[in-house]
Structure 1
Amino acid sequence: MEREQDPTDNQYVRDPDTEFEPVEQLDESAAREQAQTLREAIRYHDYRYYVEADPVIGDRRYDALFERLLALETEFDLDTEGSPTQRVGAEPLDELETVEHVDVMRSLDQSGDAEDVREFDERVRSDLADWNGEIEYFCEPKFDGLSVEIVYEDGIYQRAATRGDGERGDDVTEQVRTIPAVPERLRGEYPDFLAVRGEALMPREAFQQHNRERVEAGKEPFANPRNAAAGTLRQLDPRVVAERPLTVYFFDVIDSTATFDRTSEIYDRLPEWGLRVTDRVELVDDIEGAISYRDEMLAERDDLDFDIDGTVISVDDRDACERLGATARAPRWAFAYKFPARSGETTVRDIIVQVGRTGRLTPVALLDPVDVGGVTVSRASLHNPEEIARLGVGIGDTVRVERAGDVIPDVSEVLDGDDGHFEFPDRCPECGSEVQRDGPLAFCPAGFGCPAQREQAIEHYATRDALDIEGLGGQRVEQLISAGLVEEPADLYELTVEELAELEGWGERSAENLLAEIDDTREPPLAEFLTALGIPDVGQTTARALAAEFERFEAVREASAEQLQTVPDVGPKVAASIRAFFENEETAAALDRLLEHVEPQETEIERGDALDGETFVFTGSLDEMTRSEAQDLVESHGGNATGSVSGNTDYLVVGENPGQTKRDDADAEGVPTLTETELYDLLDDRGVER
């Protein structure tokens, strides 16, 4: 066991408002010492906030400490292993690799019937008939999130993986690293090796706020916190994960050099190492106590800030657990006592069709208000035309409504109604354009010609992911549109102080500030401009790839579908979306007007020809550079770096913890593989400087 230095005598813990001298006045030795002191302080403040739920510092000052540390590490090129600044997010990944777990992550036998829980107790007592110990049960909430394995060695965060099939999961090391509740370094007397199991989730209040921000940015809201957590952790860009409010609750030790006599002891030890646990746990004498605990949690579930779908009942004594063992699927010493589904019956009074920023049409059922799990529900999603047909739902039908993930209402079943169903419109309800279908989904193709899409396009243009006009949130955009000042992004650049100052809640200073922010976006980097346009199927990663390939906006705009598909990972569907966007007459006219005010900057890339025409695919992590840096290096010398192996691939570069799929594909296609060392030898032979 090792012990971290006690941080309570740290100056940024004793006096977090300590003023900083300018960075340029420090030498490297002083900077290194101050950085280490800041790291210890930030870890302490993280512990007080996430584990003890008793912060001793405000958000603004915490941010100041964090930004100072980041500035020191950047300015003096300091080693950042184990530093809290690693939470800002690494470079985007090409894919999620598959890794093996330290030990099997089994699921649980489960039921919502109390008699099944009592039968579990009978089996436990029968199997332990010759055991002399006392049988007590440790009860805890069953989190409704995404289960992850997290590994620490010598107290330092090493890797994280999703549960997957129980034996292997997706490598989400860089994604989980960005979650503030997951420490880069353990506290106290920690074991040399520790593999823990936790649940990644999005707290309810944070989820609601994040969904509001997504809607204001013209993005589809997440259906529920569980989907939000799962979708976030599988993002290939860890920087996206860093911007979303995920947390982790830890609940088990998978493997460790530390030993434990009881499950309840694990809950005592995890916080000592800086790992967050819930305090809503209880040790009971018998199974009836466990059943009562579950009933209490069912009554209190709406008061929690995280979603649970039941409770977990575990034999507390670890020796007894060893005796009970496990099946291939589940341990014999634990059982999940599930909550009943939240649902209600009501009548569909109307069905409306909403238009999203990308033109997607979403049907929504307007309901007679009904109580579903303590929440009054009057609207529910019908998702898409195919779902309407599958359910056979129509206006006037009696339906069952469930709160999917206990959050977003969902029509799950028609209980009584006519044989027919709601006829999905063949024209957009906002602009009258003929609706187009893409599989189960329906779209309005009008682009800027559709008022609903136009309004949301303006909001998206200003978001942080796009041109980051901070003073132009959803409410202000709506106000500008209602006042008749803005109809499309080009109008933003023609606003005047006098026009804005006349609006309610505005003054001359706020008007000047907004216009200054807008003015700063007149010469945006090409990738950011492409993102801001909100082209369907084109996010930040694809926008960067397009900018790197074509370098000029007009080249992207005029590229054929075939030319677009030469960009790594742009397939026929994405290429078709890009072409449809630029070929739409209303969109083209709006773009022409926008380009009168905005001049996207060319992407300047120095290209050599040492690897001209050769295609590389990377799998696993590299030691000397990130995989993204290696791909950029290959491309800057005329090569191609793609995300999947095909018959056109020249080399598969295999790093640490590689994915099996790419290696299997390389074997099947006869593609030679290179280790990291062999890659560098090849580059040296070609005269490529690293």
Structure 2
Amino acid sequence: MTDDTLATDGENPYLREPPSDFRPVAELDETEADRQIELLREAIREHDRRYYVESEPLIADRTYDALFSRLEILEDHFDRSAPDSPTNRVGGEPVDAFETVEHVAPMLSIDQSGEVEDVYEFDSRVRRDLGLESAAGGPADGGAGDVGGTVDNVDDGDGTATLSDFADTGGDDRVASADLQYVCEPKFDGVSVEFVYEDGRLVRAVTRGDGQAGDDVTKNARTIRAVPQRLRGDYPDFLAVRGEVYMPKDAFQAHNRERIEQGKEPFANPRNATAGTIRQLDPSIVAERPLSVFFFEVLDSSDGLERHTEALERFPDWGFRVTEELERVESIDAAVRYRDDLMERRDELSFEIDGVVIKVDDYAAREVLGTTARHDRWAFAYKFPARAEVTTIQDVAVQVGRTGRATPVALLDPVDVGGVTVSRASLHNPSEIAEKNVDVGDTVRVQRAGDVIPYVAEVVEKGSDGHWELPDTCPVCESHLERDGPMAFCTGGLACDAQRRRSIEYYASDDGLDLDGLGEKSVRQLVAAGLIETVADLYELDRDDLVGLEGWGETSADNLLAELEDAREPPLADFLSALGIQLVGPTTARELAREFETFEAVREAAVESPEALESVDEVGETVARAIHDFFSSEANAAVVEQLLEHVSPQDAEIETGSDELDGLTFVFTGALDAWTRGDAQELVEAHGANATSSVSGNTDYLVAGENAGASKQTDAEANDVPVIDEAGFRELLAENGIEVA
């Protein structure tokens, strides 16, 4: 089927069974092109509504993509771009900053509590202020109110109301009636946004901000496919509505999995993911992320509305997505039961909620009740208690670290653990997964090691058969995953994007060359901008390219380039550490430098005779194999050669130094005030001592600073090794005639 002829019977040819072939653009005149653009826009808007609002698509994804591509081509060729064209869903040009815009009506917060007594107090106040009789029920006797009406809708599985049919509860429903009615809704855990429409067109989208004004995020909002750019049906000339932008649970887990596999930090929960996305300065980033929206309140309208339920009934006709989890009730008892029922079903929902909102239905009653300075007096949020420790594993991702270690990470329904919201937890390694019999769908207990790192402690209830299995290949580069005892490692080396980016971060870190101005965020930005792919690319950065990046100025660019220039001749030990070789930190790097003196000697020994490495303190068979594997990798060797075109590691100077501490062995843990750990190690080594990274029977002193590691102190106790603090370390130095500032 082709588009040679357009339908003349009023049916848009791109709605059902659209053409699969299009005439060449060069054969169209402007009139034909304008007509086709108009029909394509109209059809794509309808397809978006059917797919994202009603979940009833008319055409296959591939067909939709073909129509969308055709529209892009026509708009570009005939210069017919428009603010409300569906093509703006892919994002426009980045903005420098968001403009602050006043709301057409205040977007106030909601008074809230998790205590049922406060809910009944809200009902009593509402009735008192409206001159109605007191509520019949209460938390003690339960009351007798029944649900008066619900959204009459077939559950299509996505939580969307496609037909709102609120049943009439009967009787006189005006404010003067004793039958006060509430509307109960989920309390969405997302980001509130005001959407303003004039003549049916979206003209502005503004975040809640302080309730009176917020950030203009219109460009970003246009990329969300559940946001209608044009209204349908008999809509008001002017309309401002409130919606909740959110990230669906399954989309959140998939997005976090993708971030983890790309070596990026995952979001803590869907709300954080949404908030971080909607305020992106680059709309194209927003377009790539799976945001959706529910609309739930009229803020202002040129048409008179009498009830909240009336607005909700008309929302779908205008193209607004409404949740099906709505109920109109005749008593506060029924509202409490609604909340308890929804709390039991919250895990079945496709979106996160943290309670329910109870609203007076009648707008005239709302006017009487009014507002406080902070919240509407006609609404109340009955919160859910925080989830604690027990949650469900929704997916498992594999995170690849700097050394190639592949760590399974459980993606969880967000849960409160010690006052912190946790959405991921380490599964450590495949052996531990098998031992605990953990898999996707299991209900697990999550704990935090040392109040920092979340991990899965145990399976509370099996929701699966068997346990999760590690894939054979790396999720980032598809190289083979090699097992090493209980651990697994990606064999891709620096050919693996995850290892490569993390290697750049490590190269610039304190344990590397300590390059100021080149932290994790900066490295991510440079990689995303395509300015660097490997460590060697750092030395080819251009000043103009840096200044052109968001957040960079001439001073920050010059400072970084100066740092890099100063790092072209690093000490051998620093350079070896900065390479990020597995199991080779600053201490081992110093021992290698001391033993081999030159970089070439280290590399030759690693490749040709790795057993020679084992003669070095801190290097055993495992470390020697790791060094050999690093330098034997073709990908790593290529990056090192590129790096050596810019960097000349300085030969190690064999210090004959003093021998005041000759024969002593020190281990340092925690943070010291006067020295970095590396400086402290160099200090004792300069005076004849050894500095190692682990405590053994050969250790003479463990120097423990702030936040010292518990394991080293336990090892010290087991081996009768004295533990001294920084003050004790200074005294020891002074006793041996070593003066320090």
Name the SS of the counterpart of 1:179 in structure 2.
coil
Does 1:192 find its partner at 2:192?
no
In structure 1, distance between residues paired with 2:265 and 2:278: 17
Does 1:86 find its partner at 2:68?
no
Match of 2:521 in 1: 537
Match of 2:21 in 1: 19
The answer as to whether partners of 2:102 and 2:212 remain within 8 angstroms in 1 is: yes
Letter in 1 for 2:521: D
Does 1:105 find its partner at 2:107?
yes
Does 1:333 find its partner at 2:335?
no
Letter in 1 for 2:318: W
Match of 2:339 in 1: 294
- Give, in angstroms, the shift of residue 19 of structure 1: 2.8
Q: Which moved more, 1:186-195 or 1:560-569?
A: 560-569
The answer as to whether partners of 1:105 and 1:167 remain within 8 angstroms in 2 is: yes
Name the SS of the counterpart of 2:110 in structure 1.
coil
Name the SS of the counterpart of 1:184 in structure 2.
coil
Residues 322, 29 of structure 1: CA spacing in aligned structure 2 closer, same or farther, 3 A cutoff? same
- Give, in angstroms, the shift of residue 304 of structure 1: 0.4
Letter in 1 for 2:57: P
In structure 2, distance between residues paired with 1:560 and 1:370: 44
In structure 2, distance between residues paired with 1:174 and 1:80: 12
Residues 568, 106 of structure 1: CA spacing in aligned structure 2 closer, same or farther, 3 A cutoff? closer
Letter in 2 for 1:536: E
The equivalences for 1:253-652 within 5 A come to 253-344=298-389, 474=476, 476-478=478-480, 486-489=492-495, 536-538=520-522, 557=539, 569-570=551-552, 583=567, 585=575, 593=638
The answer as to whether partners of 2:182 and 2:360 remain within 8 angstroms in 1 is: yes
Does 1:221 find its partner at 2:266?
yes
- Give, in angstroms, the shift of residue 165 of structure 1: 0.9
The answer as to whether partners of 1:128 and 1:320 remain within 8 angstroms in 2 is: yes
Name the SS of the counterpart of 2:14 in structure 1.
helix
Q: CA RMSD in A?
A: 4.6
The answer as to whether partners of 1:219 and 1:357 remain within 8 angstroms in 2 is: no
In structure 2, distance between residues paired with 1:20 and 1:364: 48
The answer as to whether partners of 1:7 and 1:13 remain within 8 angstroms in 2 is: no
Residues 324, 40 of structure 1: CA spacing in aligned structure 2 closer, same or farther, 3 A cutoff? same
Match of 1:238 in 2: 283
Match of 2:602 in 1: none
Match of 2:126 in 1: 124
The answer as to whether partners of 2:480 and 2:492 remain within 8 angstroms in 1 is: no
The answer as to whether partners of 1:364 and 1:380 remain within 8 angstroms in 2 is: no
The equivalences for 1:21-170 within 5 A come to 21-129=23-131, 131-133=175-177, 134-170=179-215
The answer as to whether partners of 2:269 and 2:423 remain within 8 angstroms in 1 is: no
The answer as to whether partners of 1:537 and 1:574 remain within 8 angstroms in 2 is: no
Match of 1:615 in 2: none
Name the SS of the counterpart of 1:235 in structure 2.
coil
Residues 491, 259 of structure 1: CA spacing in aligned structure 2 closer, same or farther, 3 A cutoff? closer
Letter in 1 for 2:30: E
Letter in 1 for 2:99: E
The answer as to whether partners of 1:187 and 1:272 remain within 8 angstroms in 2 is: yes
Residues 57, 199 of structure 1: CA spacing in aligned structure 2 closer, same or farther, 3 A cutoff? same
- Give, in angstroms, the shift of residue 10 of structure 1: 1.0
1:178 to 215, 223, 226: 223
- Give, in angstroms, the shift of residue 475 of structure 1: 6.6
Residues 485, 124 of structure 1: CA spacing in aligned structure 2 closer, same or farther, 3 A cutoff? closer
In structure 2, distance between residues paired with 1:242 and 1:107: 28
In structure 1, distance between residues paired with 2:38 and 2:314: 26
In structure 1, distance between residues paired with 2:110 and 2:9: 40
- Superimposed CA distance per residue, residues 297-344 of structure 1 (whole angstroms, 9 cap, x where no aligned partner): 111101100000011101111111111111111111110011111114
- Superimposed CA distance per residue, residues 391-411 of structure 1 (whole angstroms, 9 cap, x where no aligned partner): xxxxxxxxxxxxxxxx99975
Residues 563, 151 of structure 1: CA spacing in aligned structure 2 closer, same or farther, 3 A cutoff? closer
Name the SS of the counterpart of 2:15 in structure 1.
helix
- Give, in angstroms, the shift of residue 23 of structure 1: 2.5
- Give, in angstroms, the shift of residue 259 of structure 1: 1.9
Match of 1:626 in 2: none
Residues 96, 139 of structure 1: CA spacing in aligned structure 2 closer, same or farther, 3 A cutoff? same
Residues 545, 13 of structure 1: CA spacing in aligned structure 2 closer, same or farther, 3 A cutoff? closer
Match of 2:721 in 1: none
- Superimposed CA distance per residue, residues 543-576 of structure 1 (whole angstroms, 9 cap, x where no aligned partner): 79896xx9xx999625699996797632688887
Identity, in percent, stands at 47
Name the SS of the counterpart of 1:108 in structure 2.
strand
TM-score, normalised to structure 2, is 0.54
Letter in 1 for 2:125: R
Letter in 2 for 1:69: L
In structure 2, distance between residues paired with 1:161 and 1:371: 27
Name the SS of the counterpart of 1:158 in structure 2.
strand
The answer as to whether partners of 1:82 and 1:156 remain within 8 angstroms in 2 is: yes
The answer as to whether partners of 2:400 and 2:490 remain within 8 angstroms in 1 is: no
The answer as to whether partners of 2:206 and 2:216 remain within 8 angstroms in 1 is: yes
Match of 1:643 in 2: none
- Superimposed CA distance per residue, residues 653-687 of structure 1 (whole angstroms, 9 cap, x where no aligned partner): xxxxxxxxxxxxxxxxxxxxxxxxxxxxxxxxxxx
In structure 1, distance between residues paired with 2:413 and 2:242: 38
The answer as to whether partners of 2:13 and 2:19 remain within 8 angstroms in 1 is: no
Residues 332, 483 of structure 1: CA spacing in aligned structure 2 closer, same or farther, 3 A cutoff? closer
Name the SS of the counterpart of 2:120 in structure 1.
helix
Match of 2:597 in 1: none
In structure 2, distance between residues paired with 1:110 and 1:260: 26
The answer as to whether partners of 2:94 and 2:283 remain within 8 angstroms in 1 is: yes
- Give, in angstroms, the shift of residue 382 of structure 1: 9.1
Letter in 2 for 1:570: W
Letter in 1 for 2:362: D
Name the SS of the counterpart of 1:11 in structure 2.
coil
The answer as to whether partners of 1:298 and 1:310 remain within 8 angstroms in 2 is: yes
Residues 577, 212 of structure 1: CA spacing in aligned structure 2 closer, same or farther, 3 A cutoff? farther
In structure 2, distance between residues paired with 1:170 and 1:50: 25
The equivalences for 1:640-679 within 5 A come to none
In structure 2, distance between residues paired with 1:340 and 1:319: 33
Q: Which moved more, 1:481-490 or 1:126-135?
A: 481-490
In structure 1, distance between residues paired with 2:192 and 2:249: 17
- Superimposed CA distance per residue, residues 224-246 of structure 1 (whole angstroms, 9 cap, x where no aligned partner): 11111011111111100000000
Structure 2: runs of 5+ lacking an equivalent: 1-7, 133-174, 392-397, 417-421, 427-442, 454-472, 499-517, 568-573, 581-630, 644-741
Name the SS of the counterpart of 2:65 in structure 1.
helix
In structure 2, distance between residues paired with 1:229 and 1:410: 24
Q: What is the count of residue pairs matched by the alignment?
A: 459
TM-score, normalised to structure 1, is 0.58
